[in-house]
Amino acid sequence: MSKEGGSGGAYLVAFVLGALTGAAFALLWAPAAGEETRRRLGEKAREGKERVGEAARSISAAIERGREAYRQTGQKENT
């Protein structure tokens, strides 16, 4: 028990009621239906996948350019 004489159960009940109220408002005020939301999430996931692929290709190209510059530098020093 706390110093104020209240029980932990009252806090738990208040938390659960708050969570349920928040969930109800979220469902009532959701901007799109579930199917629309899933479609948007799928589109964003595909866009993210494309961006990651582009970034990976860009990084690979930069690494290859760095390797080539290193090789050229090494060849100049050896001549």
Looking at this protein, which amino acid is placed at residue 57? R
35 secondary structure, DSSP code: H
31 secondary structure, DSSP code: S
Q: Which H helix or E strand runs over 19? A: helix 8-28
**Mean pLDDT across the stretch 45-71?**
91
Asked whether the whole model's pTM tops 0.85, one would answer no
> Could you tell me if 30 and 38 are in contact, meaning their C-beta atoms sit under 8 angstroms apart?
no
pLDDT exceeds 50 at position 1: no
**Mean pLDDT across the stretch 59-68?**
92
Q: What is the pLDDT of residues 27-57, one digit of tens each?
A: 667 776 778 878 887 898 899 899 888 899 9
Q: What is the dihedral of CA 25, 27, 31, 33, to 10 degrees?
A: -170
pLDDT at position 66, please?
92
